[in-house]
C-alpha cells in the first residue's frame, strides 16, 4: 500500500470490501486520535457500540480503558486508538487469520503515517498480528523491539478486575517513555 494521508486512509477503510466482514458491518472503525501521535493503542476489533458509532473503544471495554488511562495519568486525547481489524466480527467472535491478513496493511499504514514512539498492543490478537508472538504474561511489562509494549486487552480486564492494577501499571509506562516507575 502506497503511503497516503490519514483522512484518505480512513476513507479507504470505510469503503473497504477486502474481507467478508464488510457484509455485516454498520460502520468500519478506522481509529481516532492525534496525528502524528507519540502513543498508539491497538486492540483486537470493534464491538457492537463501535460498529454503530464508527468510533474505537466506546463500549464497556472502552469505558474501562478510559478509567485505566486516567489512573495512568494519560489523557485519551493524547493517544491514537485503533484495532487490528477495522470491522466488527459477527457476535464479537475472534477475527480469523485471513481477516487479519487482509486488514493488517491498514494498521501498518497508520503506523507509518503517525510515527508513534511507542505502540501498545492490547491482547494476544494485536501482539500476534504485529509481533508474531502471543502470551501476555510473558510479553507484558517491558519494551519489545524498541517501541512495543504488550498488555491485556481491556475486555480481559472487564472479565477479571484483578488485572486492573497491572493494566494501569503497563499504561503508565506509555507515559514515561517505556520506563516502569516504582
Hey, which residues between 145 and 164 contact ligand SF4 (CB under 6 A)?
A: none
Applying CB under 6 A, among 6, 28, 157, 173 the residue interacting with ligand SF4 is 28
- For position 102 contacting ligand SF4 by CB under 6 A, the verdict is yes
- For position 6 contacting ligand SF4 by CB under 6 A, the verdict is no
Spatial distance between the Cα atoms of 133 and 95, rounded to a whole number of angstroms: 16
Binding window for ligand SF4 (CB under 6 A); candidates: 57-65, 96-104, 118-126, 163-171: 96-104
Burial class of residue 117, CB neighbours in 10 A (0-12, 13-18, 19+): middle
Least gap, CB of 143 to ligand SF4 (angstroms): 28
Hey, which residues between 47 and 86 contact ligand SF4 (CB under 6 A)?
A: 85-86
Those residues with Cβ within 8 angstroms of residue 1's Cβ, 6 or more apart along the chain or in another chain: 105, 106, 108, 109
Number of residues located near ligand SF4, criterion CB under 6 A: 14
Quote the cell numbers at residue 78: 493524547
What string of H, E and C letters represents the secondary structure of 110-166? Answer: HHHHHCCCEEEEECHHHHHHHHCCCCHHHHCCCEECCCEEEECCHHHHHHCHHHHHH
- Which residue lies nearer to ligand SF4 by CB, 13 or 40? 13
- For position 172 contacting ligand SF4 by CB under 6 A, the verdict is no
Residues that bind ligand SF4 (CB under 6 A): 13, 16-19, 21-22, 28, 85-87, 99, 102-103
Amino acid at each position: 500500500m502506497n503511503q497516503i494521508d490519514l483522512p484518505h486512509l480512513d476513507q479507504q477503510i470505510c469503503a473497504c470490501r477486502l474481507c467478508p466482514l464488510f457484509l455485516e458491518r454498520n460502520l468500519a472503525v478506522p481509529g481516532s486520535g492525534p496525528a502524528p501521535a507519540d502513543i498508539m493503542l491497538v486492540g483486537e476489533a470493534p464491538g457492537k457500540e463501535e460498529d454503530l458509532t464508527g468510533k474505537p473503544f466506546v463500549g464497556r471495554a472502552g469505558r474501562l480503558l478510559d478509567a485505566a488511562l486516567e489512573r495512568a495519568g494519560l489523557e485519551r486525547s493524547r493517544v491514537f486508538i485503533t484495532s487490528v481489524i477495522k470491522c466488527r466480527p459477527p457476535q464479537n467472535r475472534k477475527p480469523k487469520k485471513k481477516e487479519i491478513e487482509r486488514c493488517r496493511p491498514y494498521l501498518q499504514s497508520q503506523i507509518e503515517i503517525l510515527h508513534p514512539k511507542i505502540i501498545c498492543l492490547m491482547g494476544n490478537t494485536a501482539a500476534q498480528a504485529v509481533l508474531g508472538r502471543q502470551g501476555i504474561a510473558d510479553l507484558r511489562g517491558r519494551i519489545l523491539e524498541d517501541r512495543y509494549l504488550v498488555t491485556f486487552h481491556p475486555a480481559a480486564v472487564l472479565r477479571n478486575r484483578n488485572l486492573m492494577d497491572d493494566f494501569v501499571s503497563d499504561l503508565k509506562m506509555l507515559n514515561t517513555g517505556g520506563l516502569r516507575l516504582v
